[in-house]
Structure formats: C-alpha cells, structure tokens
Amino acid sequence: DTGVSQNPRHKITKRGQNVTFRCDPISEHNRLYWYRQTLGQGPEFLTYFQNEAQLEKSRLLSDRFSAERPKGSFSTLEIQRTEQGDSAMYLCASSFRGIGGETQYFGPGTRLLVL
C-alpha cells in the first residue's frame, strides 16, 4: 500500500496524559498537513510542513500541541496534558506541488478519545 498511513488508528487515554501520533506520507511527497475533525464537521487545518520545516500553525494548535517532521519523512503530532476537548479524529495528508497544482491525499486518521 503506497498511500498515507497513520498510527495508531485508535487511542483512548485519560485526561492529563500525553499522546503521540505518527503519520507516514506518500513517498516523495514534500508537503505534509495535519487536520482535526470532530463529529459532523469538516476537517480543520492544524499545521503544515514543507520537507522538514514547519511553516504554518493554526490558532487551533495550542501550546500543548507539537508537531515534528525529522528529515522530511514521517511526522509526529504530540498532545501534552490531554483534555476532553481534544477528542477528535486527527488526519494527516501529504502532497507534492507540481506544475499541475497540488492534491492532498489523506490517511485513515487516528481517532482520539480522552476520558
């Protein structure tokens, strides 16, 4: 399977715990995005990487959230001191900016439940 992969697919944690999610993009895609989706809503942008550089962070991304993309390959999203409001589906998408434009391809998501 050469699509975007995310791990874990599901995570249940207690309030106050730290969690980390991983995203493996499509190989050779230099752009990587994180989105968050809650029930009945469309995905909302969180942050963006071009290669290893984090170039954009949404106001939705509080100080408890941190994302990395070492060596411009896989990416991790960490949430510290989780709160119940963090419960959502976390989606990763990757893309390649070419002459014809850019299409973001999404992974299956990580569903987080904070108890």
List the one residue from 56, 68, 78, 83 that touches other proteins (CB under 8 A).
56
Which residues are bridge partners to 93 per DSSP?
Answer: 33, 106
DSSP 71: G
**114 in contact with other proteins (CB under 8 A):** no
**98 in contact with other proteins (CB under 8 A):** no
Q: Looking up tokens 């106001």, which residue turns up? A: 59
Cα of first residue to Cα of last residue in the chain, in angstroms, is 33
Q: How far is the CB of 103 from other proteins (least distance, A)?
A: 6
Site string for other proteins, 73-92 (x = CB under 8 A): ------------------x-
Q: How far is the CB of 96 from other proteins (least distance, A)?
A: 12
Q: Which of 112, 109, 114, 107 is nearest to 26 (CA)?
A: 107
Radius of gyration of the chain (CA): 14
The contact set with other proteins (CB under 8 A) reads: 4, 6, 31, 33, 35, 40-45, 48, 50, 55-56, 91, 93, 97, 101-109, 111
